[in-house]
Amino acid sequence: MSQPLVDIRNLKIGATVYPPGENPKKIEIVHGVSFTLEKGKVLGLIGESGAGKSTIGLATLGYGRGGVELTGGEVHVNGRDILAMSDRDLRKLRGPEVTYVAQSAAASFNPAKQIMEQVTEAAIKHKLCSKSEAEARAVELFRKLGLPNPETFGSRYPHQVSGGQLQRAMTALALCPQPDLVVFDEPTTALDVTTQIDVLKAIKDAIRDTGVAALYITHDLAVVAQVSDEIMVLRHGNMVEHGTTDQIINHPREEYTQALVSVRSIEHEEKAPTPEPVLKVEQITARYKGLNFDVLKDVNVELHPGQTLAVVGESGSGKSTLARVITGLLPPREGKINFAGRSLSSDFKGRTREDLRELQMIYQMADVAMNPRQTVGTIIGRPLEFYFGLKGAEKQKRIVELLDEIEMGEKFIDRYPAELSGGQKQRVCIARALAAKPKMIICDEVTSALDPLVADGILKLLLELQKIEDVAYLFITHDLATVRAIADSIAVMYQGEVVRYGPKSQVLAPPFDDYTDLLLSSVPEMKLGWLEDVIAHRKMESAGN
Amino acid sequence: MHPILLLVLQRLGLGVLLLLAASALIFGLTEILPGDAAQAVLGQSATPESLANLREEMGLNRPALTRYVEWLGGIVTGDMGNALTNKLPIADQIARRMSATLFLAFWAALISVPLAILLGLIAVRYQNRWPDKAISGITLASISLPEFMISYILIFLFAVQLPWAPSFVSINDSMSLLQKLHAISLPVAVLTLVVLAHMMRMTRAAILNVMQSAYVETAELKGLSTFAVIYRHAFPNAVAPIVNVVMINMAYLVVGVVVVEVVFAYPGMGQYLVDAVVKRDVPVVLACGVIFAAVYIILNIVADVVSILANPRLRHPK
């Protein structure tokens, strides 16, 4: 048998961590992972954040991010152990032999340079070909990846093209030096589902056409199932299961893999609307200062007590703007908001303390929504003091109650946000919102930054709390699986308008309008060949029209 | 209209307004000082009658606003009036002094700015290793020493101990460029040492800030050498803060060199201003003040405009 392209044996990776209030210490984050990858094959690395998948991916480039060090084992690429290489030899490996596609192309392209210069840089600097040859290659890649005007695309600056286009350009950047291996690190995670499907197809075709081998890193099993030959499941720096894509998806052996495959097991029965909605948004039209178009156009929705209204849409659809209007951060140009039977002032400054108390908010990024220098107890205690004047033992008792409600308990009361995991941080934010005993909470993409299993836990908690506290949720998300799990009614937003609105059972049942159909059919399914089926189906439809 | 042009015009307009405000402030401040030009001319022993007569003659009895407008009109048309002490036109004096100061500032800037940026780049390349620490240490030491101290140390070393350069600087038109440069070598060295640290540290900080970006990682993963990553990918995105500090230091080279000019007896603007203040020559002080303000404002506008131009989002709108 010929020598494999990548041969990783018992790879151990360590990192230096800086726990607050303690001395920095070294920990091991990958504990001896082994695999091989043949030329032209695609291996999917899947796991939650902290599983070590990106770290392993970067190890094939001999690169450690931040304080990460490759501490043991062997990483052979093209027969050479790269852990034993000098910096100079490593630089010769990066580009000509192995390249990297990062999660956020928007951040990974240099804003000050034209795309062409960046795409061709590695090939030119390593003297793999002349400048004109590299540019010809880039144009060919742009064309292959379905970028508009491939001849002139490269002369644009990163901010002049869309996120989906930039992600494809990043793939071109990785393929231009004609490497043997490309490491794709969550290349579609930051994209909308309708964009993701096209980028995924482009990446898959490019891998097939160029015959390059790939490590495809993601937390989304449904996505990796579409592109890889084999899948390796990682958790806490250990391999859980390694097999063919078919085996992992259809016959997972390990319990953890089974949980990943069957994630979103939440059962939620749709509740019927009540006569008195807690929130009534009427004919809201809004725009931001300095823009000459409306970001929200004639939006009408209702939310009933103790129920969940999911507002779904892609980035730029206006769903977060709707939250800003409801909270009074952005007074609308037209329309009014009725809350708990009274009319709300359009500006939060004109609202009473009672208005503010009854309408709380939970954000996507839990870590920036909390003061890093306050303890969990202080963070949760603040609304208790502010709205109810609680002090001393009374306040302490209520904080503990809330911590119990979010299934964390008293031991967390003196911890700082930095000492909590992503899921725990979000739980503290939920407790802070609940502390005000609100009638309604706006949840803005509260599970988007979390791993699927952790997100599942948060959703279950939210539903549980809804039963106990009879609080209504306005749930903003781009994730349709989440919507299916928790909504009672759904509003689909597109370019500032509500294009579909009603009870969940009605909104998610055919006949669909074009946009909802596109949105629903773009959500990756945990099934082999799904990508090809959808693309073929769409081609057929557009040919039929 | 191109958005950049609009922004630049806005900055220019603001600059003019700012300059007006500065001129009013300077004029106002000399107004509220005790004594006036007549008092200065006649001295402490003047009788009230002679003072009143001179005030009448010089037009000092008219309202302050009238005199301000007249003075401003003069400056705009290049007529700054005559000095009280020697009755010579201020404009001629300033033209001569300013060209001397600019000559000194120009050469100091030409050496210090590229040197500071290069040292900043090297400091980033060897971050927290000995070259970085050495550069930081030396530049910090040089900024911590008072300018006159550095001046005297350099004079002692290179004018007294080793007769390489003159300690008393005078230049005139009959000298060749090389002779002139030789003459100003010591003050240029002092100024370079004084402004180096600030610019170098800002370059280092601004680039280090950018070095955390994802696109720097992308460049590293292309297999570029560390120095290529720094100057090709990090530096272009750190230009705006660096230019701002560079411009403040350039302004300092023009406006703040009083001490160095006095130490080397160099006939520049700083000397001129100090002389005028000592002799209570109010019109000269006013003129110098306005010119210094103008230098600051113009250089800051340049910094603003360069920052705008350095932003690709503004340079290449969607």
pLDDT tens for chain B, residues 1 to 318: 677 888 889 989 999 999 999 999 988 888 887 777 777 777 777 788 888 888 787 777 788 888 888 888 888 888 877 887 777 888 888 888 898 899 999 999 999 999 999 999 999 999 889 999 999 899 888 888 888 888 899 989 998 888 888 877 777 778 888 888 888 899 999 999 989 988 999 999 999 999 988 999 999 999 999 989 998 999 999 998 999 999 999 999 988 788 888 888 888 888 888 888 888 888 888 888 889 999 999 999 999 888 888 888 888 877
What SS3 state is found at A159?
A: helix
Given CB atoms, is B6 within the 8 Å cutoff of chain A? no
| CB-based contacts of A92, cutoff 8 Å, min separation 6 | A126, B223
- Which contiguous run of DSSP H or E holds residue A238? strand A238-244
CB nearest to B215's CB, from A65, A95, A108? A108
Per-residue pLDDT at A545:
57
Q: Which of A499, A525, A524, A503 is nearest to A512 (CA)?
A: A499
Which residues on A lie below 8 Å from B237 (Cβ)?
A: 110-112
C-alpha span between B241 and B248 (Å, rounded): 11
Q: Which residues of A touch B222 (CB under 8 A)?
A: 94-95, 99, 121-122, 125
**SS3 at position B18:** helix
Amino acid at A279: L
CB contact under 8 A, A90 and B223: yes
Give how far A92 is from chain B: nearest CA, Å: 6
Rounded to 10 degrees, what is the CA torsion of B73, B75, B77, B83? 110
φ, ψ for residue A315, nearest 5 deg: -60, 140
What would the pLDDT profile of B273-296 be if each residue is shown by its tens digit? 888 888 888 888 888 888 999 999
Chain B environment of A189 (Cβ under 8 Å)? none
Written as one letter, the residue type at A13 is I
Residue labelled with tokens 């015959």: A211
pLDDT at site A265: 60
Q: Is A35 helix (H, G, I), strand (E, B) or coil?
A: strand
- At residue A263, the pLDDT reads 61
Give, as one character, the DSSP assignment of residue B264.
T
Task: Give the gap in angstroms from C-alpha B130 to the nearest C-alpha of chain A.
Answer: 20
B287 reaches A (C-beta below 8 A): no
**Amino acid present at A318:** G
Length of chain A: 545
Residues whose CB falls within 8 Å of the CB of residue B141, separated by 6 or more in sequence, listed in order: none
Distance between CA atoms of residues A106 and A167, nearest Å:
8
Residue of A nearest to B238 (CA): A112
Q: Interhelix angle for B90-125 vs B130-144, to 10°?
A: 150
Asked if the Cβ–Cβ distance from A121 to B215 is below 8 Å, we say no
Contact A402, A413 (CB under 8 A): no
Residue with tokens 């003061």: A371
pLDDT, one tens digit per residue, over B116-161 is 999 999 999 998 899 999 998 998 888 888 888 888 999 899 988 8
Q: What is the pLDDT of residue A454?
A: 84
Q: What is the dihedral of CA B42, B48, B50, B52, to 10 degrees?
A: 100
Question: What are the φ/ψ torsions at residue A165 (nearest 5 degrees)?
Answer: -65, -40
Residue A76 is inside which H or E element, if any? strand A68-77
| Contact criterion met (CB < 8 Å) for A94 and B213 | no
Q: Are the beta carbons of A112 and B237 separated by less than 8 Å?
A: yes
Pseudo-torsion of CA B120, B124, B130, B135, nearest 10°?
10
Query: At B86, phi and psi to the nearest 5?
Result: -115, 5
Four-point Cα dihedral A133, A139, A144, A147, nearest 10: 160
**Pairwise CA distance, residues B93 & B83, whole Å:** 9
Q: Which residues lie across from A282 on neighbouring strands? A: A336
C-alpha Rg value of chain B to the nearest Å:
24
CATH superfamily of A279-522: P-loop containing nucleotide triphosphate hydrolases (3.40.50.300)
Q: How many residues make up chain B in this entry?
A: 318
Question: Which helix (H) or strand (E) segment is A308 a member of?
Answer: strand A308-312
Residue from B210, B218, B231 to probe the interface with A (highest A Cβ count within 10 Å): B218
CA dist A77 and A6 (Å) reads 5
Q: Is A283 left (phi over 0), alpha (psi -120 to 50) or beta?
A: left
Are B224 and A92 within 8 A, CB to CB? Answer: no
Question: Is A220 in contact with A524 (CB distance < 8 Å)?
Answer: yes
* DSSP code, position A157: -
pLDDT on residue A430: 94
Angle at alpha carbon of residue B114, lines to B212 and B257, rounded to 5°? 115
With an 8 Å Cβ cutoff, are B228 and A125 in contact? yes
Non-local (6+) Cβ contacts of A81 within 8 A are A74, A75
Cα(A462)–Cα(B205) distance, rounded to whole angstroms? 44
B225 Cβ under 8 Å from any chain A Cβ: yes
HSE-CB of B88 using CA atoms within 13 angstroms: 9
Strand blocks (E) in A313-391:
334-339, 342-343, 359-362
Query: Closest to A108 (Cβ–Cβ): which among B214, B236, B316?
Result: B214
Do residues A454 and A419 make contact, with C-beta atoms less than 8 angstroms apart? no
Are B214 and A126 in contact (CB < 8 Å)? no
Dihedral sign for Cα atoms in the order B25, B26, B31, B32: positive
Residue B219 sits at the chain A interface (C-beta within 8 Å): yes
pLDDT in tens, chain A (545 residues): 468 899 999 999 988 877 666 788 888 888 989 999 998 899 999 988 778 888 899 999 988 887 788 888 899 999 888 888 888 999 999 999 999 998 888 889 999 999 999 999 999 999 999 999 999 999 999 998 888 899 999 999 998 888 888 988 999 999 999 999 999 998 888 788 888 888 888 889 888 888 899 999 998 888 999 999 999 999 988 999 999 999 998 899 998 888 888 766 667 778 877 788 999 999 999 988 877 888 899 999 999 999 999 999 888 888 889 999 999 999 999 999 999 889 999 898 999 999 999 999 999 888 889 998 999 999 999 999 999 999 889 999 999 999 999 988 888 999 888 888 888 999 999 999 999 999 999 999 898 878 777 888 899 999 999 999 899 999 999 888 888 888 999 999 999 999 999 999 899 888 888 899 888 888 888 888 889 888 888 888 777 65
Task: Domain ranges for chain A, please list them.
Answer: 279-522
Q: All domains of chain B, ordered by start, with CATH?
A: 93-304 (1.10.3720.10)
pLDDT of residue A20: 63
**Pairing state between β A296-303 and A230-235:** unpaired
Q: Among all residues of chain A, which has the CA nearest to that of B232?
A: A113
* Among B residues 35-54, those touching chain A with beta carbons less than 8 Å apart: none
pLDDT at B53: 84
Distance (Å) from the alpha carbon of A95 to chain B's nearest alpha carbon:
5
Which residues in chain A have Cβ-Cβ distances shorter than 8 Å to B223? 90-96, 122, 125-126
Contact of B308 with chain A, judged by CB distance below 8 Å, is answered with: no
Residue B265's pLDDT is what?
86
CB A207 within 8 A of CB A42: yes
Instruction: Judge whether A250 and A244 are in contact, CB under 8 Å.
Output: no
Closest CA to B229 of B221, B238, B220, B241: B220
Nearest to B313 among A109, A126, A159 (CB): A159
B310 touching A, CB under 8 A? yes
Return the pLDDT at A543: 75
Rounded to whole angstroms, how far apart are CA atoms A324 and B240? 33
Q: Which residues sit opposite A9 in a β-bridge?
A: A74
Chain A hits for B316, Cβ within 8 Å: 156-157, 159-160
